[in-house]
Chains A and B, each alone.
Chain A
Amino acid sequence: MKFKTRSFDDVPGVLEVRDLTVRLAGNDTAPPVLDRVSLKIRQGETVCLVGESGSGKSVTSLSIMGLLPKGALVATGGRIELENRNLLELGPQAMRDMRARKISMIFQEPMTALNPVIRVGDQIGEVLDTHTRLPAREKKARVLDIMNQVHLPDVERIYRSYPHQLSGGQRQRIMIAMALILEPQLLIADEPTTALDVTTQKQILSLIAELQETHGTAVLFITHDMGVVAEIADTVHVMKLGQIVEHAPVEDLLRRPRQEYTKQLLQSVPSLTPRAPRAMSADGTVLSVSGLQKVYGAHGVFVRREPTRAASDVNFSISRGRTLGIVGESGSGKSTVARCIMRLVDPTDGDIRVADQEIARLSRRELRPYRKHIQIVFQDPFRSLNPRWTIGRSLIEGPLNIGTDKQAALKRAAELLTLVGLPDDAVNRYPHQFSGGQRQRVAIARAIAMEPDVLVADEAVSALDVSVQAQVLDLLDELQQKLGIAILFITHDLRVAAQICDEVVVMQHGRIVEHDTAANVLANPQHPYTRALIEAAPGRQWDFANFRELQTA
């Protein structure tokens, strides 16, 4: 792994944050949201701010921009110094002058960060309108120039496009163009690649690095992804509950973390080296899919649209006690496959066999007795439990449907909660009294309550912080060992796939492009797309959990 090693000791600083304290407005007794945060960024330096959700990374960046939500958060102490001026003391007009000229910011969601009703060229041009007085022709020339610099294709056409006509990666390029057109000294990037696919992420990261080089911009990069940190950081600051717990040059931090919290964080990063595969059991196949196809078509008077093949010719099978991963980027059709198997959508063609019964063509009513054999856990823990129902009621919903006696089902629910590592008195509580990770455990317990042969996990750990993610993965592993359940694990994250899967299926454009054991797919990928995916995984030569380079076996 090659880290950045440039020393910044002699380089002049751009921005210095000292003892920044931010509190909830009108509440001096609650613990501060940011507690004496200090950090320094120098010319051309990339400072990464890492931490889990709620650690205060984004609040730090919004404080620097002077964009804290009015009436909700206030900076109550400390200084933010740029060019010997304390930004916290600037009036609204003076602060507006700083934005885009001295400090710029790009955000996480390129899908929502651009105004949907204004052409993107005009949105970039607006920065010039606000801060400069240029004749129209020159203005357009500069906008097109920066659009070329961020490597957008066919800039004249994109100049006139609306955001919804562009891809996520293109929109993020527009955001970067907008941020850098006036050559600010500091660029704040708040999780700019989190919403993007890995291959796009890689392009955007190298674009930021390239522009940083040519313009000498300092970058404050906020992320939760240690892989990204390893790729791009000069200096790393680790945040936890509003405080900076540790900061060091990137290689120091990854090799010799000093704080317990940093170690924990690094140890939770799943390794790209696959775990040992489970034995193929003799019981054989519990789920098999063959020739599965799903076409979404639009038809109607005056509507002409190409039908979309969300999945075509998908074949695989899983046997008892094993895990099959479906890996792919957004739009690859992996979730469509999961939803077809669950019969949440009706497949256009193909066979799905569960418990020796073909279920793809059963009517909803005929299907119901077979539902128990296959259960699902969804991505969003906050929406997968009915907020009006107690945990107990959610847990017994399924068993009651298959005729279990209510008392027995309740007793079983308490046992299940213990099994997934929650107190058994949780039966009487409501979902909002639990954290995201705990809710995901409840969702797993609800699925297990049906004693299914197959558990479908649709991005089941993607919304969780790494430390929680590691715990939930452990839980699934444990349950599989105990109950011998087969798992179909859908994920976009190769690291997660490596840690839980015996076999991996790689999907692209609705088709399976590669299907092999996890070890083979990761170590010896055959299809170019799989290779591209693996190469795009950030920090792939580093073994985070052991603080050293990856040892190739």
Chain B
Amino acid sequence: MLGYIIRRILAVIPVMLIVAIFVFLLLRLTPGDPAAIIAGDAATPAQLERIRTSLGLADPLHIQFLTWAKLLFQGDLGTSLISRTPVTQMIGQRIWPTFNIAILTIALSVLIAVPMGVLAAWRHRTWVDYLVMAFSVLGFSIPVFVIGYLFIQAFSIELRWLPVQGYAAPSEGFGKFLSRAILPCLTLATIYVALIARMTRASMLEVLGEDYIRTARAKGVKETVVLFRHALRNAAVPIMTIIGTGFALLIGGVVVTESVFNIPGIGRLTVDAILARDYPVIQGMILLTSGLYVFINLLIDLSYTFFDPRIRY
């Protein structure tokens, strides 16, 4: 058991190392002068020179990587080309709105999606199932920002129930936070719910065909017990997996949603960085989100041992 945990944790190291190499090479291997790419067309020779020194472009590639990785390891993601503030500091200032909304979204999604998927599998090939599947395929197909604008149009402009845009921290009052966070959360949750509901349904359908489900029914156990005690726990591992891999989708959604709803989080930071071609910030965001992704999936991997006693090698 302990061996399993240690091995899982150690397995993270090569993955993160390759991510780092990849991100490092992304800029260096792009055709053309990296400094010119970063600085843009209107850069003065002095600016180019400053970027070259800050990237250490004169050194051989592996030296550049080691210097870069050393700084990275010390928590230094570089300095923004525009605001001249360290990237870590910029991210630190903007992370909380994103964090709050992401947590709320994940909780909301799991609470809605899992029962939906269970119901659809239980009532396989009935209108309930078709409705869930229809919702899920819609959720996949409508772009996040279209959903966002549809929600704003409906709830803020037509019905005037909620403010149009903006953000308030929970410290300013939970009601105020919720009234501004609920639409972004629902927007973000759509695709996540679609994803989880679909996987829950597929996984449950498979489990419901297993022999031990027939055994449970042969004992005279109630259907709700069959579904939630016998089936759902066995179906949990793929569902957890998709919650983990879906996290990447969530990050993509955050970037879009924050600009639709004008929320000052790290998603907006990224968009601003794209428009300003602030490459160190984009690079920092990639490293941060990849790290988070790997960390969350590590936690989920470790959680399998809780759901399935057979996993302990």
A and B touch in the complex (CB under 8 A): yes
CB pair A100 B220 closer than 8 Å:
yes
CB pair B211 A112 closer than 8 Å:
yes
**Is B127 interfacial (CB 8 A cutoff)?**
no
CA of A275 to CA of B233, assembled, Å: 53
For the complex with contacts A96-B221, A302-B4, A302-B7, 15 further pairs of A-B residues with Cβ separation under 8 Å are: A67-B214, A96-B220, A97-B220, A101-B220, A107-B214, A112-B211, A113-B215, A114-B215, A116-B310, A117-B234, A117-B307, A131-B220, A162-B310, A303-B313, A304-B3
Q: Which of B125, B211, B218, B233 contacts A65 (CB 8 A)?
A: B218
CB pair A104 B211 closer than 8 Å:
no
How far apart are B238's CB and chain A's nearest CB, in angstroms? 14
CA of A229 to CA of B6, assembled, Å: 53
User: Nearest residue in A to B7 (C-beta to C-beta)?
Assistant: A302
User: Nearest residue in B to A108 (C-beta to C-beta)?
Assistant: B211
CB pair A115 B217 closer than 8 Å:
no
What are 10 A-B pairs at a CB distance below 8 A?
A67-B218, A96-B221, A97-B220, A99-B218, A100-B218, A105-B218, A115-B215, A116-B310, A117-B233, A130-B221
Chain A CB within 10 A, most for which of B125, B215, B313: B215
CB pair B219 A100 closer than 8 Å:
yes
A79-116 CB mask vs B (1 if < 8 Å, else 0) is 00000000000001000111111001101010011111
Q: Which of B7, B212, B220 contacts A99 (CB 8 A)?
A: B220
- Across-interface contacts of B310 in A (CB, < 8 A): 116, 162, 164
- Across-interface contacts of A303 in B (CB, < 8 A): 3, 313
| A116 in contact with B308 given A107-B215, A175-B215, A301-B7 (CB within 8 Å) | yes
Q: Which of A67, A164, A175 contacts B217 (CB 8 A)?
A: A67
CB pair B230 A115 closer than 8 Å:
yes
User: Nearest residue in B to A127 (C-beta to C-beta)?
Assistant: B219
Q: Which of B208-263 contact A (CB under 8 A)?
A: 210-212, 214-223, 225, 229-230, 233-234
- Across-interface contacts of A105 in B (CB, < 8 A): 218
Q: Which of B6, B216, B223, B309 contacts A117 (CB 8 A)?
A: B309
**Is A118 interfacial (CB 8 A cutoff)?**
yes
| A99 in contact with B219 given A113-B211, A118-B230 (CB within 8 Å) | yes
CA of A162 to CA of B215, assembled, Å: 16
CB pair A130 B222 closer than 8 Å:
yes
CA of A118 to CA of B221, assembled, Å: 15
CB pair A116 B212 closer than 8 Å:
yes
- Across-interface contacts of A178 in B (CB, < 8 A): 215, 219
Q: Which of A173-222 contact B (CB under 8 A)?
A: 175, 178
How far apart are B234's CB and chain A's nearest CB, in angstroms? 6
**Is A403 interfacial (CB 8 A cutoff)?**
no
- Across-interface contacts of A304 in B (CB, < 8 A): 3
**Is A71 interfacial (CB 8 A cutoff)?**
yes
**Is A126 interfacial (CB 8 A cutoff)?**
yes
- Across-interface contacts of B308 in A (CB, < 8 A): 116-117
Chain B CB within 10 A, most for which of A117, A126, A131, A164: A117
Residue pairs across A and B with CB atoms within 8 Å: the count is: 78
A123-159 CB mask vs B (1 if < 8 Å, else 0) is 0001100110000000000000000000000000000
How far apart are A445's CB and chain B's nearest CB, in angstroms? 35
CB pair A116 B218 closer than 8 Å:
no
Q: Which residues of A contact B (CB under 8 A)?
A: 65, 67, 71, 92, 96-101, 104-105, 107, 109, 112-118, 126-127, 130-131, 162, 164, 175, 178, 301-304
Q: Which of A98, A109, A130 contacts B211 (CB 8 A)?
A: A109
Q: Which of B111-131 contact A (CB under 8 A)?
A: 125
How far apart are A180's CB and chain B's nearest CB, in angstroms? 12
B141-178 CB mask vs A (1 if < 8 Å, else 0) is 00000000000000000000000000000000000000
CA of A67 to CA of B214, assembled, Å: 8
CA of A98 to CA of B218, assembled, Å: 10
- Across-interface contacts of B222 in A (CB, < 8 A): 96, 130
Q: Which of A71, A96, A116, A127 contacts B309 (CB 8 A)?
A: A116
CA of A126 to CA of B230, assembled, Å: 11
Question: What are the 6 A-B residue pairs with the smallest beta carbon separation, nearest first?
Answer: A99-B220, A302-B3, A112-B211, A96-B220, A115-B212, A162-B309
CA of A71 to CA of B126, assembled, Å: 11
- Across-interface contacts of B221 in A (CB, < 8 A): 96, 126, 130
User: Nearest residue in B to A105 (C-beta to C-beta)?
Assistant: B218
CA of A131 to CA of B309, assembled, Å: 27
How far apart are B311's CB and chain A's nearest CB, in angstroms? 10
User: Nearest residue in A to B306 (C-beta to C-beta)?
Assistant: A117
How far apart are B119's CB and chain A's nearest CB, in angstroms? 16
Chain A CB within 10 A, most for which of B7, B219, B307: B219
- Across-interface contacts of B229 in A (CB, < 8 A): 118
- Across-interface contacts of A113 in B (CB, < 8 A): 211-212, 214-215
CB pair B6 A302 closer than 8 Å:
yes
CB pair B234 A115 closer than 8 Å:
yes
- Across-interface contacts of B234 in A (CB, < 8 A): 115-117
Q: Which of B260-313 contact A (CB under 8 A)?
A: 307-310, 313
CA of A97 to CA of B221, assembled, Å: 9
User: Nearest residue in A to B211 (C-beta to C-beta)?
Assistant: A112
- Across-interface contacts of A131 in B (CB, < 8 A): 220
- Across-interface contacts of B210 in A (CB, < 8 A): 112
| A126 in contact with B219 given A107-B211, A115-B230, A303-B313 (CB within 8 Å) | yes
How far apart are B141's CB and chain A's nearest CB, in angstroms? 29
- Across-interface contacts of B4 in A (CB, < 8 A): 302
- Across-interface contacts of B216 in A (CB, < 8 A): 115, 126
CB pair B220 A130 closer than 8 Å:
yes
Chain A CB within 10 A, most for which of B229, B234, B309: B309
CA of A452 to CA of B240, assembled, Å: 51
CA of A302 to CA of B223, assembled, Å: 42
- Across-interface contacts of A101 in B (CB, < 8 A): 220
User: Nearest residue in B to A175 (C-beta to C-beta)?
Assistant: B215
CA of A112 to CA of B212, assembled, Å: 6
CA of A303 to CA of B7, assembled, Å: 9
- Across-interface contacts of A302 in B (CB, < 8 A): 3-4, 6-7
How far apart are B107's CB and chain A's nearest CB, in angstroms? 24
CA of A162 to CA of B305, assembled, Å: 13
CA of A114 to CA of B308, assembled, Å: 14
- Across-interface contacts of B225 in A (CB, < 8 A): 130
CA of A97 to CA of B222, assembled, Å: 10
CB pair A98 B220 closer than 8 Å:
yes
Chain B CB within 10 A, most for which of A107, A112, A115, A162: A115
- Across-interface contacts of A100 in B (CB, < 8 A): 218-220
CA of A59 to CA of B186, assembled, Å: 48
Q: Which of A97, A104, A114 contacts B212 (CB 8 A)?
A: A114
How far apart are B4's CB and chain A's nearest CB, in angstroms? 8
- Across-interface contacts of A112 in B (CB, < 8 A): 210-212
User: Nearest residue in A to B3 (C-beta to C-beta)?
Assistant: A302
CB pair B211 A164 closer than 8 Å:
no
User: Nearest residue in B to A62 (C-beta to C-beta)?
Assistant: B214
How far apart are B204's CB and chain A's nearest CB, in angstroms? 14
CA of A390 to CA of B229, assembled, Å: 46
- Across-interface contacts of A99 in B (CB, < 8 A): 217-220
How far apart are B9's CB and chain A's nearest CB, in angstroms? 11
CA of A304 to CA of B212, assembled, Å: 32
- Across-interface contacts of A130 in B (CB, < 8 A): 219-222, 225
CA of A295 to CA of B271, assembled, Å: 58
How far apart are A408's CB and chain B's nearest CB, in angstroms? 47
CA of A107 to CA of B210, assembled, Å: 12
Chain A CB within 10 A, most for which of B220, B229, B307: B220
CA of A110 to CA of B257, assembled, Å: 51
CA of A162 to CA of B220, assembled, Å: 21
- Across-interface contacts of B125 in A (CB, < 8 A): 71
CA of A4 to CA of B230, assembled, Å: 40
